[in-house]
Structure formats: structure tokens, C-alpha cells
Amino acid sequence: MADLHVTIDRAKGAIAGQIACELRESIRLGRLEPGTRLPASRDLAADLQVSRGVVVEAYEQLVAEGFLVSRVGSGTHVARALEPAPPRPVVEPGDETECPYYGHRPTSPDLSGFPRQRWMASVRHVLTTLPSDAFDYADPAGVYELREELAGYLRRVRAADVRPENLVIVGGVAQALSLVLAVLGAGLKLAIEDPTSVRQVPLLRRSGAELVPVPVDGEGLRVDRLPAAGAVLVTPAHQYPTGVVLSPRRRTALVEWAHAHDAFVLEDDYDAEFRFDRDPVGCLQGLAPDRVILAGSTSKSLAPGLRLGWVVAPADLAAQLQRARAEFDLGSPVIDQYALAHFMHTGGYDRHLRRMRREYRIRRDVLVRALAEHLPEVRVRGIQAGLHACLELPASWDENTVVAAARDLGLPAEAVGPMRYAPGPPAIVVGFARMPAHRTAAAVQGLKVRMSGQTID
């Protein structure tokens, strides 16, 4: 059994998070080897003089992230698939259905909630304090101040294993994927989730990748169905369109697959900011920083129109991405980068996310209650996180008819059928972020009236 050395600072609060952070780092550095049994939660709680519930919460977080495994009767152990990440060298800065990216979609955030005043204050600060030379061509990898802020944020909130040197600023996840695939080379065999967003497919095909659909079930991507491939693109935090969160055992299995096939996992950190049932589960990249490429953006947290995102990659690949960025377009707008760095540094980003998370949860709950009351024959899926719900319809209902009716009533919706490679039951995606809570119940009641003529099996 492991002899743990855990230090906590009660003045900092979030004791369970401190314990989880120290254990996670011990695992990463090899101080806790794969298979090591951890002390019982009651024993560790007594050693640290905290409540047992605090230790249980820390253990559960690391089990959810795949760092630990827990089985009744055998205790809690370090996952055997994990190995310490290798030392990383310091990098010197140096014909699908038409479905456009632009416009209002079920996954769009409430743009009326954009923090205009605080963002304006950050832009004003940038314009009045930075020297003129700061507005020249910047490092194609991105303004260092922003990379530093993002690296700290991702370590703290997403449990990522990241430093500014292996982070590249991009114009959103779409550009992140384009850059990564360009660097990995044409002809790459790329496994993708089935179903998946039809908006991404043309982008992926244009890169020259050979797409191989892999089914998604109630635990996320079916890792046991993954073929030998160069990479796999996944959305573990909240899959689109099903809303499934990748289970702990699938996370571990996916990392094992990547190591076994010398492949990369392209992690789209989709909807990670908005988890409603618990603290967000750490990203996959934190489990295997040598195998996982993490992509994220401010499109949901702030606004898609900002076109600000990031890629976290192993050091050698990050260097290649930086060179590609220099060759393609010389980098992202510097004023917006400095503004975001200031916004994050002053706490505005965290405050905004907390406010919107509360509001989105209220809107989600109203939608779920209204569906339960007025359309109990519809199954609601994928509501632990994100800005949309997946609605499984009765077998006799037509997806397009329901989508048209929902849109007429102000509910943003899309049919799931066009997103599937393999056939599946009728389902639609409904967004709740832009629908004020007081209008949702009336819209769902109206949908019930519209669909009353449908035959329900």
C-alpha cells in the first residue's frame, strides 16, 4: 500500500481538489506507480484530519478522470494503463449535406450574456498600456501572456499537463483540427465518432484524411471497435450530438489504444466549461500528454465570433504546429489575444463562466421539466453538460417534422439522422442556451400540440 505524502492548505479551500491535484501529480511523476493500492478513504481522512467525504470526493474525481480504479472488495488503485510521461524538451518560442458553420445553431451560447463592459475594460487596458511594438507581427504560436494565462487555467480547471511552450493559439477548434491534420499529413486514417457533427466532416475530408466512423453508445466512443489508425477524434466531455460523457473505463481504454497503435487522440474539449452535475472531469490530455492533442476555444464560453482557441500538443508536435501557423497566416489578432489574457488574469473569465453556468442550468432544468410534463414519450439524453439536449423520439415520429415544428416555436433544433453513418432511432438535438426560461415551457407545450397527430408506438 502506498505511503502518501499529501499537503493541504485549509486557507485555500477546496480541500478535495487539493488532494486530487497532489495525487494526480504523484501519479504523473511516477511517485505512485501503476497498480499501487491507495489507503482506504477513512484512513487517509484520519491522517489528513479531514472528513472522509472529502477524501471520497477526491478519489471519485480521479476515478472519473481515469487516474484511479476502484472496485468493491479490492480498494482503490492507480490505473495500470498509466505510465509517467517522458521528459519533454523545452520548445523555444520560435460530398456531405450542406450545413454552414455560420448562423444560429442549437449549440450556440446566449450571446446577450457576453460580458461587454468587462471585455471593453480589458481592450481599453490593452490599448492604453501596451507599447506600440506589441502590435507588430507576433509570435505565430500566440502572444506569450495569453499562452501563460491559458496554460495556468487549463492546469487548474481541466487538469491538463501543459506549459506555455506546448500551447498554440488558433482561430478556434476548426482551425486547430485543420492545422493538426495538415501536420500529421494527408492520407491519415482518422477514426471519428458516429454520430458526429456534419459541419466537421467536410473540414476533415478536405485535409485528406480517411474517415472511419466508430459507434458511440451510452459510455461514449466504442473503443473496442476502434481500428488500427493514425488518430481518433473524440469529444469526451460532452459528445455531439448524443451528449454522452466518456466513461472512466473508456478513457483508460482509449489511452491504452493510443499507446498500443502509436496513434494520437485528438481531443475536442467540447462543452467542457458547462458541467452541471459535478465539477468538470479533467481532460484526457492530462492522462497521456504524449499521446493526446487537446483543442479548445472561447466559442461557447464567450462568443464564436471572437475566433480564439488553442491547441495543446506534445512538444515536438507543438513546434511543428507553430511553424505551420507561421506559414499559413502568421498567427491570430494580437489585440484580442492581449485582451483575453487581461480578462483571464483579472478573474473576469472565471466570474463570467460561473454566472453563465448557473443560468444555463436553470434553462436546462426548465426544458427537462417541460418535456417530462408535456411530452413524456420523448426520452431526454445528454444533459449532464453542455448547451443542448438529445431527444430520442418515438419510432413513428419523423425527425424533420419535429425539427420544423420546434423551430417555428423558437426552439433551435437539428435532426440527428444526417449525422449518422449507421442507422439509428429517430432523434433531434435541441438547444436551450438562448431560450429564456419563461418561454421554454410554452414552446414545449406548443410542440405537444403540433405533434398530437403523430401515432405513438
Domain that residue 428 falls in: 353-450
Give the distance, in angstroms, between the CA of residue 54 and the centroid of all CA atoms in the same chain. 26
Residue 208 included in any domain: yes
- Dump the DSSP string for 183-248: HH-TT-EEEEEES--TTHHHHHHHTT-EEEEEEEETTEE-GGG--S-SEEEE--SS-TTT-PPPPH
> Given pLDDT bands bounded at 50, 70 and 90, which one contains residue 457?
very low
Residue 250 included in any domain: yes
- Is there a single domain that holds both residue 229 and residue 144? yes
Sign of CA pseudo-dihedral 366, 368, 371, 373: negative
Residue 416 included in any domain: yes
The pLDDT tens digits for 251-262 are 999 999 999 999
pLDDT at 144: 96
Mean pLDDT of 314-325: 95
Of 78, 95, 120, which residue sits at a domain end? Answer: 78
Identity of residue 384: Q
C-alpha cell of residue 206: 478536405
> Given pLDDT bands bounded at 50, 70 and 90, which one contains residue 11?
confident
Residue 410 included in any domain: yes
Between 27-36, 295-304, 392-401, 448-457, the lowest mean confidence (pLDDT) is in 448-457
Task: Please check the confidence at residue 221 and state whether its pLDDT lies above 90.
Answer: yes
pLDDT at 83: 54
| CA angle at 242 for the pair 240 and 248, rounded to the nearest 5° | 90
List all residues 6 or more positions away from 192 whose beta carbon is below 8 Å from its beta carbon.
Answer: 200, 201, 204, 211, 212, 213, 214, 232, 233
Of 78, 101, 119, which residue sits at a domain end? Answer: 78
| CA angle at 256 for the pair 237 and 161, rounded to the nearest 5° | 55
Residue 88 included in any domain: no
Percent of the chain with pLDDT over 70: 93
- Is there a single domain that holds both residue 69 and residue 156? no
pLDDT at 451: 87
- Is there a single domain that holds both residue 359 and residue 284? no
| CA angle at 316 for the pair 182 and 260, rounded to the nearest 5° | 85
pLDDT at 100: 45
> Given pLDDT bands bounded at 50, 70 and 90, which one contains residue 135?
very high
Q: What is the CATH number of the domain that holds 338?
A: 3.40.640.10
Residue 329 included in any domain: yes
- Is there a single domain that holds both residue 177 and residue 311? yes
> Given pLDDT bands bounded at 50, 70 and 90, which one contains residue 91?
very low
Count CA atoms closer than 13 A to 156's CA, side-chain side: 9
Task: Please check the confidence at residue 97 and state whether its pLDDT lies above 70.
Answer: no
- Is there a single domain that holds both residue 361 and residue 325? no
- The total number of structural domains that make up the chain: 3
Instruction: Specify the pTM.
Output: 0.83
- Is there a single domain that holds both residue 300 and residue 382? no
Task: Please check the confidence at residue 425 and state whether its pLDDT lies above 50.
Answer: yes
> Given pLDDT bands bounded at 50, 70 and 90, which one contains residue 81?
low
The pLDDT tens digits for 22-54 are 899 888 888 888 989 999 999 898 888 899 999
Q: Is the previous residue joined to 195 through a cis bond, with omega within 30 degrees of 0? A: yes
- Is there a single domain that holds both residue 63 and residue 126? no
pLDDT at 94: 35
- Is there a single domain that holds both residue 318 and residue 363? no
> Given pLDDT bands bounded at 50, 70 and 90, which one contains residue 90?
very low
Task: Please check the confidence at residue 92 and state whether its pLDDT lies above 70.
Answer: no
Task: Please check the confidence at residue 174 and state whether its pLDDT lies above 60.
Answer: yes
pLDDT at 99: 46
- Is there a single domain that holds both residue 124 and residue 226? yes
Q: By the 8 A CB rule, do 348 and 214 touch?
A: no
pLDDT at 82: 60
Residue 93 included in any domain: no
Q: What is the CATH number of the domain that holds 391?
A: 3.90.1150.10
Percent of the chain with pLDDT over 90: 71
- Is there a single domain that holds both residue 257 and residue 389? no
Identity of residue 272: A
φ, ψ for residue 33, nearest 5 deg: -80, 155
Task: Please check the confidence at residue 17 and state whether its pLDDT lies above 50.
Answer: yes
d(CA 388, CA 152): 28
> Given pLDDT bands bounded at 50, 70 and 90, which one contains residue 72?
confident
> Given pLDDT bands bounded at 50, 70 and 90, which one contains residue 104?
low
- E strands of 10-81, at which residues? 68-71, 75-78
- Is there a single domain that holds both residue 344 and residue 357? no
Q: Which of 382, 375, 387, 344 is nearest to 454 (CA)?
A: 375
List all residues 6 or more positions away from 436 whose beta carbon is below 8 Å from its beta carbon.
Answer: 363
- Is there a single domain that holds both residue 65 and residue 194? no
Task: Please check the confidence at residue 162 and state whether its pLDDT lies above 90.
Answer: yes
Residue 167 included in any domain: yes
pLDDT at 101: 40
Of 321, 350, 379, which residue sits at a domain end? Answer: 350
Q: Which of 161, 155, 162, 167 is nearest to 17 (CA)?
A: 155
Reduced to 3 states, what is the DSSP secondary structure of residue 124? helix
d(CA 272, CA 277): 12
